[in-house]
Amino acid sequence: MIRRVRRMTVMMRIMHWVLALSVAACFVTGLYIAKPFWFRPAPGPADVLVMGNVRFVHFVAAMLVDVAFLSWCYLFFFSLQEPFVRSLVPFRKRWGEAWAMLRHYFTLRNKPPTRDPGIDPLNAYGFLVIHFLVFVQMVTGFGLMRPTFSHANSLLPIWPWILEVSERVSVAAFGSLVAVRQVHHLAGFAIVALAAVHVYLQIWRDIFWTEGHISVVFSGYKYVEEE
Amino acid sequence: MPKCPHPRRAPSPSDVERRLDALEARFQGRGRDLEELLASRGISRRSFLKWTSMMTAALWLPPTFERSVARAAAVATRVPVVWLHLQECTGCTESALRTAYPGISELILEYLSFDYHETIMAPAGEAAEKSLEDTLENHRGAYLCVMEGSIPTAMDGKFLRLGPKGETGLSLARRVAAGAKAVIAIGHCASYGGPQAAAPNPTGAKPVHEALGIQTIRIPGCPYNGVNLVGTILHLLLTGEVPALVDGRPAWAYSKRIHDTCPRRAHFDAGEFVEQWGDEGARKGFCLYKVGCKGPYTWNNCNEMQWNEAASFPIRAGHGCIGCSEDAFWDDMAPLEKPLADGAVAIPFLKGVEGSVDTVGWTLIGATAVGIAGHAVYSAAMKKSKPGQDGEEGSHGA
């Protein structure tokens, strides 16, 4: 008998795709901002703000990442459906489960049971690292944005304050604005590398578990065979 | 990092006038007379007044202070100044002294009443020492101390010895700073340590404020811009106070980012870059970001004040900013003619190995791809060699 198991709520799926697309946009535009890679021989006076537009996309995508990140932080603890925190506590038990999953990836044996609800603890640890890196990007990004900020804004008065605190914290943590800039650059690569591992693992599960794993992120369900 | 400081209350004009009266009375007859100097260089009164307007605006003072600025400029050549050369190249002194056509800022700098200045003072040996001691004693609390160069602190400062008694730079600087009205650190070395403080910093070179544990007014740059030193001296004379500082630097000079006031900024936003020296973009005056301009990380007033009486400055002349007014720029911003993405960073866990952030990043992505491919091949082989063991043993469901 095949049982349908719900894995991702609507909210989680929306946030997943917002994050995926925004992170991809941030990475590509970030590479351009760091080192503009296509040369536009301007025949006359420039009428297109290439760098300006790329920066705009970078900032808007970064804001979407930040909103998704903050929502994720909230749902991590307070989701009514399945707070991620349950995948990490009790610590000792979940740590054992994560270790078992890691062994499974290399032995293909002893597939850990599907948790219902909740994601498997190894995945949860991976997401924690990714979201920590997103947090680093957020703070360093705001810190780098502060010098370009004109103090004219249509947002709450707290906005300039956030930028300034971010700048102070990130400069204190890494030494100088240049170091902050380099950390921001490297963390971007780290996020993309982890995302690649994540995508690979989902495909791997789909192939080796034959539970329709890829379907989870679209429909929210996967299918488990039971006696 | 610099931020817009809260504006201070403008000094009261009557206070300023009273202070100038007192200074004029105290230092009467010392040093050189500015009007004579201007006349000897053929600089008209009108040019001088235009210059005072410029300085007044630069110091963020209202136009009513132009007269006071002119008086302060005349006092500036009379106030005793002790100028110390520490661990440095004398480039800062040179840049002020060697101007072919000195403007008024340079002229004032050249004729500050130097009671002690190792490059240009007339006395030598014991006589020079006596001049220094006399100033320290007679003008205690009134003389200005300008320090050029970092202070080596390793081996009790023995890397730098000065004068006939072989006094260490650390000891001399401490003695002179103790009685000074204000200590002005000029150039990158005195402000942030300079190249000698770059890793691995064998002499333990430190900027003045760190080596002595005192507050300094930092006027960084390599070399510094004379306008910024004259402006700071004028501010000290006018108000008797240290100007509003950001990161220890006078806010009036160092609170704007080079990138934001850059004459080439429009080309940055348009995505028009110089790809290599002498190309079409260089001829058209495109943005220098890709040939290493560090303007986005540098705060200074080069764009407004420019150099050598506003003749030009690096970005206008076609070379990117090298960030010489920022902390640790020798370490942080190298290589100076490449964008930061190509700058070397120490690779974590590999001591002494350096690569650009891009190299590190793409290596990380490459290693991930290799790991993924390896695991995929391994998994496929495992599944093939042990059919029926692809997870069927485990229990499903909860």
Position B184 scores a pLDDT of 95
Percent over 70 (pLDDT), chain A: 92
Average pLDDT over residues B90-106: 78
Q: Are residues B281 and B264 in the same domain?
A: yes
Residue range of the domain that includes B74: 13-253
d(CA B51, CA B45): 10
Q: Which string of b and e fits B50-72 if b means at least 16 CB within 10 Å?
A: ebbebbbbbbbbeeebbbbbbbb
Position A43 scores a pLDDT of 60
Class assignment of domain A2-37+50-149+156-225?
Answer: mainly alpha
Residue ranges per structural domain of chain A: 2-37+50-149+156-225
Position B313 scores a pLDDT of 92
Beta-bridge partners for B186: B148, B219
Is B391 in the A-facing interface, judged by CB distances under 8 Å?
Answer: yes
**Of A11-25, B86-100, B379-393, which gets the smallest average pLDDT?**
B379-393
* Residue B398, pLDDT above cutoff 50: no
* Residue A160, pLDDT above cutoff 70: yes
Closest chain A residue by Cα to residue B383: A108
d(CA B46, CA A119): 79
Chain B partners within 8 Å of A105 (Cβ): 375, 379
Contact A108/B362, CB-based, under 8 Å?
no
* Residue B331, pLDDT above cutoff 90: no
Give B 111-150 residues with CB within 8 A of chain A: none
Q: Are residues B242 and B269 in the same domain?
A: no
* Residue B52, pLDDT above cutoff 90: yes
How does residue B390 score in pLDDT terms, banded at 50, 70 and 90?
very low
- CA B309 to each of CA A177, B32, B48, B51: distance values in angstroms, whole numbers, following the listed order: 31, 22, 13, 10
d(CA B340, CA B293): 9
Q: How far is CA A196 from the centre of its chain?
A: 12
Position B121 scores a pLDDT of 85
Q: Which residue type, as a one-letter code, is found at position B264?
A: R
Q: Are residues B140 and B214 in the same domain?
A: yes
Q: Are residues B227 and B281 in the same domain?
A: no
* Residue A102, pLDDT above cutoff 70: yes
Is B347 in the A-facing interface, judged by CB distances under 8 Å?
Answer: no
**pLDDT: is A184 or B247 the higher one?**
A184
Q: What is the pLDDT of residues B176-233, one digit of tens each?
A: 999 999 999 999 999 999 999 998 899 999 999 999 999 999 999 999 988 899 899 9
**Of A186-200, B118-132, B370-384, which gets the smallest average pLDDT?**
B118-132
Chain B partners within 8 Å of A33 (Cβ): none
d(CA B245, CA B224): 16
Domain assignment present for B396 = no
Contact B393/A111, CB-based, under 8 Å?
yes
> Would you say how long chain A is, in residues?
227
Indicate yes or no: pTM above 0.90.
no
Q: Indicate the residue among B285, B313, B338 that finishes a domain.
A: B338
**How many other C-beta atoms lie within 10 A of the C-beta of residue B161?**
13
> What number is the ipTM of this complex?
0.87
* Residue A81, pLDDT above cutoff 90: no
* Residue B311, pLDDT above cutoff 90: no
Position B241 scores a pLDDT of 87
Chain A partners within 8 Å of B339 (Cβ): 34-35
Average pLDDT over residues A27-32: 94
**Of A13-22, A32-41, B262-271, which gets the smallest average pLDDT?**
A32-41
* Residue B346, pLDDT above cutoff 80: no
Q: The tokens 């910093």 sit on which residue?
A: B201
* Residue B32, pLDDT above cutoff 60: yes
**pLDDT: is B317 or B384 the higher one?**
B317
**How many other C-beta atoms lie within 10 A of the C-beta of residue B96?**
23
Distance to chain A for B257, nearest Cα, Å? 7
d(CA B290, CA B59): 34
Q: Which two tokens stand for residue A112?
A: 């850990």
The partner residue sitting opposite A164, judged by closest CB among B3, B371, B379, is: B3
d(CA A161, CA B228): 30
Query: What are the DSSP calls for B133-182, one per residue?
Result: HHHHHHTTTTSEEEEESBEE-GGGGTT-EETTTTEEHHHHHHHHHHT-SE
- CA B94 to each of CA A133, B77, B89, B197, B306: distance values in angstroms, whole numbers, following the listed order: 48, 19, 9, 21, 17
Q: Are residues B58 and B163 in the same domain?
A: yes
Q: Are residues B101 and B168 in the same domain?
A: yes
CATH number where B194 lies = 3.40.50.700
Beta-bridge partners for B84: B147
Q: Cβ distance B341 to B294 under 8 Å? A: no
Distance to chain A for B193, nearest Cα, Å? 15
Closest chain A residue by Cα to residue B360: A186
CATH number where B279 lies = 4.10.480.10
Q: How far is CA B363 from the centre of its chain?
A: 36
Q: The tokens 């002893």 sit on which residue?
A: A110
Q: Indicate the residue among B253, B268, B286 that finishes a domain.
A: B253
Q: Are residues B186 and B126 in the same domain?
A: yes
Q: Are residues B210 and B313 in the same domain?
A: no
Segment holding B218, helix H or strand E: strand B217-219
Give B 152-171 residues with CB within 8 A of chain A: none
Position B394 scores a pLDDT of 40
Distance to chain A for B386, nearest Cα, Å? 9
Q: Which residue type, as a one-letter code, is found at position A23?
A: V
* Residue B392, pLDDT above cutoff 90: no
d(CA B117, CA B123): 10
* Residue A46, pLDDT above cutoff 70: no
Is B317 in the A-facing interface, judged by CB distances under 8 Å?
Answer: no
Contact A225/B396, CB-based, under 8 Å?
yes
Query: What are the DSSP calls for B227-239, one per residue?
Result: HHHHHHHHHHHHH
The partner residue sitting opposite A178, judged by closest CB among B290, B333, B358, is: B333
End-to-end CA gap in chain B: 55
How does residue B18 score in pLDDT terms, banded at 50, 70 and 90?
very high
* Residue B6, pLDDT above cutoff 60: no
Beta-bridge partners for A69: none
Domain assignment present for B267 = yes
Position B348 scores a pLDDT of 63
How does residue B396 score in pLDDT terms, banded at 50, 70 and 90?
very low
Chain B partners within 8 Å of A34 (Cβ): 339-341, 357-358
What is the tally of structural domains in chain B?
Answer: 2
Q: Cβ distance A47 to B282 under 8 Å? A: no
Domain assignment present for B239 = yes
* Residue A206, pLDDT above cutoff 70: yes
Q: Which of A10-14, A65-69, A120-124, B350-354 has the highest mean pLDDT?
A: A65-69
Contact A224/B397, CB-based, under 8 Å?
yes
Q: Are residues B32 and B110 in the same domain?
A: yes
Q: Are residues B271 and B327 in the same domain?
A: yes
**How many other C-beta atoms lie within 10 A of the C-beta of residue A175?**
16
- Contacts across the A-B interface (CB distance below 8 Å): 165
The partner residue sitting opposite A35, judged by closest CB among B323, B341, B364, is: B341
Percent over 90 (pLDDT), chain B: 50
The partner residue sitting opposite A208, judged by closest CB among B269, B272, B390, is: B390
Q: Name the residue among B191, B1, B164, B31 with its Cα closest to residue B109.
A: B31
d(CA B284, CA B156): 53
In degrees and rounded to multiples of 5, residue B130 shows phi and psi of: -65, -40
Q: What is the pLDDT of residues B269-302, one digit of tens each?
A: 988 899 999 998 899 899 999 999 999 999 999 9
Average pLDDT, chain B: 87
Closest chain B residue by Cα to residue A108: B390
Q: Indicate the residue among B253, B279, B311 that finishes a domain.
A: B253
Q: Are residues B195 and B305 in the same domain?
A: no
B207 preceded by cis ω (within 30°)?
no
Closest chain A residue by Cα to residue B338: A35
How does residue A49 score in pLDDT terms, banded at 50, 70 and 90?
confident
d(CA A122, CA A225): 22
Chain B partners within 8 Å of A114 (Cβ): 396-398
Query: What are the DSSP calls for B248-277, one per residue?
Result: TEEHHHHSSBGGGS-TTHHHHHTT-B--ST
Closest chain B residue by Cα to residue A114: B397
Contact B364/A108, CB-based, under 8 Å?
no
Q: Cβ distance A224 to B396 under 8 Å? A: yes
Q: Are residues B117 and B208 in the same domain?
A: yes
Contact B376/A50, CB-based, under 8 Å?
no
Domain assignment present for B344 = no
The partner residue sitting opposite A226, judged by closest CB among B323, B364, B396, is: B396
> Would you say how long chain B is, in residues?
398
* Residue B391, pLDDT above cutoff 50: no
Give B 202-261 residues with CB within 8 A of chain A: 257, 259-260
Average pLDDT, chain A: 87
Position B397 scores a pLDDT of 35
Q: Cβ distance B350 to B360 under 8 Å? A: no
Position A150 scores a pLDDT of 63
Domain assignment present for B40 = yes
In degrees and rounded to multiples of 5, residue B150 shows phi and psi of: -85, 170
**What are the residues whose beta carbons fall under 8 Å from the beta carbon of A41, sequence distance 6 or more?**
B280
